[in-house]
Amino acid sequence: MARYIIGRLLSLIFVLFAVSLIAFLLMHQVPGGPFSMSDKGPLPAATQEAMLRKYGLDKPLWVQYTRYIWHALHGDFGVPFQSPTETVTGLIMRTWPVTIKIGIPTIAIAYALGTLFGFIAALKQNTWVDYTVSFGATLGMVVPNFVVAIWLLLLFSVYLGWLEPGGWGKPQDYIMPVIAYCLAPMALVARYTRTCILDVLRADYVRTARAKGLAEQRVLTWHVGRNALIPFVTILLPEIPNILTGSIFIESTFRIPGLGRFFVTSTQARDYPMILALVLLVAAFWGLTYILTDVLYTVLDPRIRLGGGKVAG
């Protein structure tokens, strides 16, 4: 197990290098540099040169890249050109908590209600309850969250006039972003819970458990619930980094000062250090979650052996 995890971590490091290199090469393909424009029009050539020299951008690309990696390995991710008075780490530490504050209630609501709806739909298979949940889940999964956000704005801010259309700080500012953000994962959770529970309900060991006279309650929690958890973990855990790194759509619609908007502004401002930091952050977060998922998988299902072993049974 330890060997397997170390192997996976090493391969994650390789992927991070590859990803950072691709991002680095790609962003230098974007025409224009970070200092070619100011608020008052194009900067004079001499000023541009001085700025480029200040940030080491006049060096050949490979020098810049190795230098970046060297500094990054020492925990220094540079200065964001959009906001040169702080460090990249500082900027992320300032804005990411805002995104996480939206993300945590989103995850909590989506997973709790999604599991509940999925469970109910599976137990009431082929009744109107099941059809309603399944239809709602399809709707939730395919309607983009910025579309939902606009509908919420139309309902709560325009038609009912209950909520401010955007802003950040007051507790009620959470309501619309969290609803708009949680519908898609909730639908995904409900759909997978339903499928998993239905699969397990048909399994032989559940029939055996019932046949030997176990209380339905115990069959559902002990036999069904536990086994349905396995596919659940593999499919739904990887959604979490997605949610926690924020949605550009939600944050721009409701004007939330989180991490999400930097995904757009950094590219537009040719903010090289910020771009690389975001790419690495997301890739590392995803990679670690996938490793965690695979490890949890073996804990939940002893039939699975990691690292090339055969699956028994």
Binding residues for another protein, rule: CB under 8 A, are 15-16, 18-19, 22-23, 26-27, 29-31, 135, 138-139, 141-144, 146-147, 150-151, 153-154, 157-159, 165, 195, 199, 245, 248-249, 252-253, 263-264, 267-268, 275, 278-279, 282-283, 286-287
Rounded to a whole number of angstroms, the minimum distance from the CB of residue 54 to another protein is 24
- Angle subtended by helix axes 175-201 and 145-152, to nearest 10: 130
Which one, 15 or 229, has the nearer CB to another protein? 15
Rounded Cα distance between 313 and 304, Å, is 10
Alpha carbon separation from 259 to 21, 97, 100, 281 (Å, rounded)? 22, 8, 9, 11
Which one, 179 or 209, has the nearer CB to another protein? 179
Range 165-172, long-range pairs (CB < 8 A, 24+ positions): 165/254, 166/253, 166/254, 166/255, 166/256, 167/254, 167/255, 168/98, 168/254, 168/255, 168/256, 168/257
Rounded to a whole number of angstroms, the minimum distance from the CB of residue 286 to another protein is 6
Rounded to a whole number of angstroms, the minimum distance from the CB of residue 14 to another protein is 9
CB 18 within 8 Å of CB 283? no
Which one, 114 or 287, has the nearer CB to another protein? 287
Rounded to a whole number of angstroms, the minimum distance from the CB of residue 134 to another protein is 9
Which one, 128 or 159, has the nearer CB to another protein? 159
Rounded to a whole number of angstroms, the minimum distance from the CB of residue 274 to another protein is 11
Assigned token pair, 64: 């810049």
Which one, 22 or 61, has the nearer CB to another protein? 22
Of 180, 152, 184, whose CA–CA distance to 165 is shortest?
A: 152
Rounded Cα distance between 101 and 172, Å, is 13
Which one, 214 or 261, has the nearer CB to another protein? 261
Assigned token pair, 90: 């500082």
Rounded to a whole number of angstroms, the minimum distance from the CB of residue 204 to another protein is 18
